[in-house]
Amino acid sequence: ARAALAAAAGGPGRTADGTAVQLLANVGTLEDAERAAAQDVEGVGLFRTEVLFLDRSSAPTLQEQTEAYARVFTAFGDRKVVVRTLDAGADKPLAFVDVAAEENPALGVRGLRTARRHPELLQTQLAALAAAAKQTGTTPWVMAPMVSTPAEAAEFALTARAAGLETVGAMVEVPAAALRAHRLVAAGLDFVSLGTNDLTQYAMAADRLEGDLADLLDPWQPAVLQLVAATGSVDVPVGVCGEAARDPLLALVLVGLGVRSLSMAPAAVPAVRFALSRTSLATCRAMAEAALSADSPQEARDLAARSADPDV
Ligand code: PEP
Ligand code: MG
């Protein structure tokens, strides 16, 4: 009990029986990152770099980007920093990227797909990340958003490694990528990170910006959990950086499905840390199995809660 209390009070995330589950921060701006660095988090699980590109008429230069990334790497020192390359399009429009209007922007040229039309944007960003890594003597984890196929994973991994980056991954936020996560990893990835916001949108065919569809957009949807399970069995680190990670009960289910890092707004970390500290890995797995047997988000919650420690 004393160990559980200590774990709940702070420090690295651990289940009651000692399985490490990293507790990381989602950050957008540099100020965000510097604030998060002062918190009790194990690093950054999602640095949304597109924020640096918003409200501008042209992309930040190689030098501007290098300085920005170096600031974030310096702030976190030896802690892990997962950087996502530019995720433009759909709900994140950029003035200088989306030239053609699209009928269905969420299904259009967004995320990594932007590099088909603007390869130079990705090249410059990867070069800046590599330069900042070198300057600061750090090894960032770099991942691409909206990867759908092993070919896209392979191409991104090759490009990132050619730019000098060592640890390369992909977000899993498209059902095709979740179902075939093993093949994406085999194409040359060192890690994957589930983006449950988009994964839910695409699994449920429900626009993430449409408030009237909130019931469908619930990450407890058993279909979404099944896609997480398909991803959770790969043999490289699996994280979650979508909103799902901040729900303590759901975080336990995610760990039961194979997830070993959870990235969220820093304010959400203590409650997730506490829930983990009360729960063994075996209980997390039992909760996951129970949730997968449900037919609705509410049933999944109820079944998972019934398997959990009553204090969680
Ligand atoms: C996600 O899709 O879950 C995610 C983390 O990325 P974003 O919300 O920035 O699309
Ligand atoms: Mg996303």
Query: What residue type is assigned to position 286 of the chain?
Result: A
Tell whether 311 is in a known binding site: no
Q: Is 284 a catalytic residue?
A: no
pLDDT of residue 92: 80
> 196 C-alpha to center of ligand 1: Å?
7
196-204 and 222-232 helices, crossing angle to 10°: 120
Q: How many residues can be counted in the chain? A: 312
Q: Provide the token pair at 117.
A: 């039309």
Which entry of 241, 255, 268, 294 is annotated as an active-site residue?
241
Ligand 1-lining residues (CB < 6 angstroms): 46, 48, 87, 173, 195-198, 241-242
> 132 C-alpha to center of ligand 2: Å?
24
Q: What are phi and psi of 243, to 5 degrees?
A: -60, -25
pLDDT tens digits for 285-296? 999 999 999 999
Distance (Å, rounded) from C-alpha 167 to C-alpha 170? Answer: 11
Q: What percent of the chain has pLDDT over 90?
A: 88
Residue from 29, 87, 194 whose mutation best tests the ligand 1 pocket (most atoms within 8 A of CB): 87
Name the residue with higher pLDDT: 311 or 214.
214
pLDDT tens digits for 17-66? 999 999 999 999 999 999 999 999 999 999 999 999 988 889 999 999 99
> 16 C-alpha to center of ligand 2: Å?
31
Which H helix or E strand runs over 291?
helix 281-292
Q: How confident is the model at residue 4 (pLDDT cuts 50, 70, 90)?
A: low
pLDDT tens digits for 191-248? 999 999 999 999 999 999 999 999 999 999 999 999 999 999 999 999 999 999 999 9
Distance (Å, rounded) from C-alpha 250 to C-alpha 220? Answer: 7
Q: Determine which residue's CA is closest to atom 4 belonging to ligand 1.
A: 195
Question: How far is residue 301 from each of residues 191, 206, 282, measured CA to CA in Å?
Answer: 28, 21, 18
Q: Report the half-sphere exposure of 53 (CA within 13 A, side-chain side).
A: 25
Asked whether 19 and 234 are in contact (CB, 8 A), the reply is no
**What is the overall mean pLDDT for the chain?**
95
Q: Provide the token pair at 91.
A: 């709900």
Q: Is the pLDDT of residue 73 over 80?
A: yes
Q: What is the four-CA torsion angle of 189, 140, 159, 98, rounded to 10 degrees?
A: 110
> 69 C-alpha to center of ligand 2: Å?
20
pLDDT of residue 180: 98
| Protein residues near ligand 2, an ion, with CB under 5 A | 173, 195, 198
**Closest ligand, as measured to the CA of 48:** 1
Asked whether 27 and 44 are in contact (CB, 8 A), the reply is yes
pLDDT of residue 99: 62
pLDDT of residue 9: 79
pLDDT of residue 89: 82
Q: Determine which residue's CA is closest to atom 1 belonging to ligand 1.
A: 195
